[in-house]
Structure 1
Amino acid sequence: MKRWLGAALDYLPRWLEHQMRVSEQPGCAIAVAHDGKLVLEQAFGHANLAQRTVLTPQHRFRVASHSKTFTTVAIMKLREAGRLQLDDRIGRHVSGLHRDVAAGTLTQLLSHTAGLVRDGTDAGQWHDRRPFLDEAELRADLADGLVIDANARLKYSNHGYGLLGLAIEAVTGEPYGAWMQREIIAPAGLEATSPDAPIAPALPFANGHSAKWPLGRRVVIAGDNPTNALASATGFVSTAGDLARFFGSLSPTAKRGVIGKASRRLMWHRQWPDPYSSLNRWYGLGTMCGSVADWEWFGHTGGFQGTLTRTACVPAQGLTVTVLTNAADGLSNAWVDGALQVLRAHAVHGAPSKRAAAWSGRWWTLWGANDLLPMDGKVLVANPALANPLLDATEFTPDSRERGRITLAGAFGNHGETVRLRHDARGTASEFWLGGTKMLPERRVAKELSAREGRSADGSPDGAAADVDV
């Protein structure tokens, strides 16, 4: 493993743990794979708040639209075997469809450009108001034809992937779930992955949770319901570790995979942009695509009742990051981006040098926490409360284990000023000074704030926080 990667992996759990603390999310699992091997797998919080069940890396989540990538891999494998072609019309494999729906190609369905309805006229399945559709209900929803012309734009459709599941059944002569388990999941070595729920009761499963409002508290959402004819769009159950390894195996740079390199490249190729999104994302075949700075990634997100998940693979670095959260307001999207920013910063700035390594730890003021991240010849001051903890991070160069100088900071920061690291009689770092600001360990700042709270309780003006012009 590269030395910079080890330093980044050491920081990621500390940052995520702080994010969990400030966001008050129920649970989060993260996994990072490098060149196909897991190098980080950790969980935080609870699988079920009501039962206070501690979340572990072994807990399965509903990973929802990650299922679309699995389904696309299945289509690619059947294509490699000569059993179908991407320009096949769906009507060739699934009979009884509306004429315009039947004319859509597999490529259009895979890339969400077939012009189909997203979730039908009643999407109550996403709110636990009705079961997920069976085949007859799926067909009925598509009986009126297209919503817009095919190939007009990227228009997401779960129903389109439901049709792809029916096509897989028609070509293989087997139920979707059984064929996927034998031909995709097992060959990929995914022991904690299933094509749909429910799973065996003895297996650890992370329940979903509602947002905190409007009740002022989170409600547990079972999330163990089958998705029926939409399993190919949203049914999958998996762990962060399994997803990170599977998506890593889809990288064109991976040595082995369930499908060949040419098929993997085709999946990753950017087919259609989303011009109405500020995120600058594209869709390939069963994959979302985008960039974090100069790191290009592909992957997918997933949203099930009370669960939000995301995976991103960066082929050029051989890295895959998966973050699973079990709340309707989960922060998986932001946390994957943040994790990629942390990894990239370490790759750019290098592994900690001996002098820089002496500057580390989390330091507090009443404004919150700052983390010192030693790199090669420099130290970055991160803000763990941010989704990107290295956003506009101050940099300083240590001259010794006790003094240094700020070499890069924003115009409203402390550019050019000194930093100091003071130690107690035992040689333990006890104070960090950034310019003229003294930062302390958490327990000492907590003591300061508690004392302030005590003074303000009797009405003393000395206890009130002064107005500060920032």
Structure 2
Amino acid sequence: MSFTRAGGVLGCLAMAAVAMADDLDAYVRNYMKERHVPAGVWGVFKDGKVVKSRAYGRANLELNVRATSDSVFEIGSVSKQFTATALLMLMEEGRLSLDDRIEKYVGDLPEGWRPVTLRQLLEHTSGIPDMEEIFGYESYRNIYTPAQIVQIANTRPMTFKPGEGFRYSNTGYFLAGLALEKVSGKPYGRFLQERIFGPLGMAHTRESDPTGIIPDRVQGYRFYNGGLEVRDPMQPSACLGAGTLVSNLEDMAKWDAAITGHRLLKPETQAMMFKEARTPQGPTGYGLGWFVSPWRGRTSYEHSGGTAGFSCDYRRFPEAGISAMMFTNLYDAPLGGTLYRAADLVSPGISYASLKPMPEPVAGVREKLLAAMTAVSKGGPRPDAISEKMWATYGPNARDAWRDRLANIKSFELLLRERYKARKNALGEEHIETYLYRLTNEKQVMYIEFQMNPQGQIVLQARRDY
């Protein structure tokens, strides 16, 4: 290949990468505007470094402080993997067994909780009721004793007998934190500082202490009754091992490298965290502090985190050698496809964003879908192309969204078509094929999935901005 031709190819690739980054920027900015998110920060990790990152918006609205890649956010349930790692470190030292019953380390428990093992706590197979479902995010601002947390969770019966099912339980990780303190003889935060954060150089990671001075700490918010309101920081005593930590991109990159390099645990012990648990109902999709969630044929592990004023998500793609994380300072802000599209900038093929348009395999499908969505935007009548159950899901917000998308549409390109044996979706509708289209308008690029039944009707339509 000549230098001129090679330069041209490289130039095209560079231009494509810039275009994808611009699309991601537009997607994130539009998402934040739609969801009223004050600040967002994402990063891609490789070899312990943040290789790509971007910060948007305000870390503190009152003080008009911009978010940066150094901003420190509450990470909620991403904290669970630190709790699980700490207990596994003690297991390697012979100081506990994951098959120990929790009553060995925590006294005055309800009768039904006593047979539960540490392993079952970490796998969410304990059957112990979730305290968060009972007292809600609001209560994480309050100071509690362990006895009070147990009393709150015990207002509901066991969900199932220990080991016989899967149900996410923050109470389980609270109890795991108590067991960690009992075995180590140290407070939860101090143990993690001495054994994990300090050795790894995670200088910005610690417990969320409302009274402490935490440099670069971000203020959390909730959108409520048409406006943003300030949310109090997490109280460690209300959450402990379930989700009390704060961190930033730099520190999470160091944590990610420690996982890859087995700096804290032996390889065989580390592997336990990523092996999904099984119950009589089958695999649960959860290991020890991690969801085991393959993505488009790739091995992948993930955990999200939410607190009263923050949302985050962290996903690892070990075969690609990269990971991605995003933080926001808004309660209940699903992060959509940001992680996948950010990771795709470093390892193309992870997200739909790098798929190339393909020819329409069946004539008229594109036109039928656009006509069906035009009917949605107008509020009816229901076209034959949409099933009755799917049509019933379209409310005013969906109609407004489609009106906006179609009014400014530039292109509607088929990226993927999959055919398979008949299966049922979340609406209980049978479907045999899926079409994925990229819709580009003047504001943004979005990815729309259409599931079709044997009669060619749309039985599910959803955005898949992954």
For Structure 1 versus Structure 2, the TM-score category normalised by the shorter chain is 0.5 to 0.7
How many angstroms does 1:11 deviate by? 6.0
* Structure 1 match to 2:270: 264
Match of 2:290 in 1: 287
Is 1:120–1:141's contact at 8 Å kept on the other side of the alignment?
Answer: no
Moved more, 9-18 or 175-184: 9-18
Count of residue pairs the alignment pairs up: 362
1:20 aligns with 2:31: no
Q: CA contact under 8 A between 2:121 and 2:173: conserved in structure 1? A: yes
Cα distance in 2 for residues equivalent to 1:109 and 1:388: 42
1:195 paired residue number: 207
Change (3 A) 1:233 1:53: same
Partner of 2:235: 226
Which of residues 367, 370, 375 in structure 1 aligns to 2:408? Answer: 367
1:114–1:94 distance in 2 versus 1, CA, 3 Å: same
**Matches of 1:137 and 1:227 in 2, distance apart?**
14
- Give the 3 Å change call, closer, same or farther, for CA 194–120 of structure 1 in structure 2: closer
User: Per-residue displacement from partner, 1:176-214 (whole Å, max 9, x unpaired)?
Assistant: 111111111112221110033237436111112212x52
Aligned to 1:111: 123
Amino acid at match of 2:67: L
- State the 1:306 CA deviation: 2.1
Higher helix share: 2
After superposition, the CA RMSD in angstroms is 3.8
**Given the alignment of the two structures, is residue 141 of structure 1 paired with residue 152 of structure 2, yes or no?**
yes
Within 5 Å, which residues of 2 pair with 1:64-75? Answer: 64-75=76-87
Query: In structure 2, do the counterparts of structure 1 residues 226 and 156 end up closer, same or farther at CA, with 3 Å as the change threshold?
Result: same
AA at the equivalent of 1:235: T
Higher-Rg structure is 1
Q: Percent identity?
A: 26
What is the CA-CA distance between 1:292 and the residue it aligns to?
A: 2.1
Moved over 6 A (4+): 3-9, 384-388
How far apart are 1:333 and its partner, in Å?
Answer: 4.5
By how many angstroms is 1:334 displaced? 3.3
Would you say the 8 A contact 1:8–1:343 is kept in 2? no
**Matching of residue 310 in structure 1 with residue 318 in structure 2:** no
**Do the aligned partners of residues 348 and 240 (structure 1) sit closer, same or farther apart at CA in structure 2, a change above 3 Å counting?**
closer
| Greater Cα offset, 113-122 or 165-174 | 113-122
SS where residue 159 of structure 1 aligns? Answer: helix
1:64 deviates by 0.6
TM norm structure 1: 0.67
Deviation at 1:38, TM superposition (A): 2.0
Structure 1 residue 224 displacement after superposition: 2.1
List gaps (5 residues or longer) in structure 2.
Answer: 1-9, 355-405, 412-436, 450-466
* Local SS of the residue matching 2:195: helix
Report Cα offsets for 1:395-454 as digits up to 9, x if no partner: xxxxxxxxxxxxxxxxxxxxxxxxxxxxxxxxxxxxxxxxxxxxxxxxxxxxxxxxxxxx
The CA deviation string for residues 79-134 of structure 1, in whole angstroms up to 9 with x for no partner, is 1111111111111122222232121011100000000010168414x125861532
What SS class does the counterpart of residue 29 from structure 1 fall into?
A: strand
**Change beyond 3 A, Cα 1:146–1:385:** farther
**Aligned in 2, Cα 1:20/1:88: closer, same or farther, shift over 3 Å?**
same
Q: Which runs of 5+ in 1 are unaligned?
A: 352-364, 371-379, 393-470
CA shift for structure 1 position 8: 8.8
- The residue aligned with 1:298 is 301
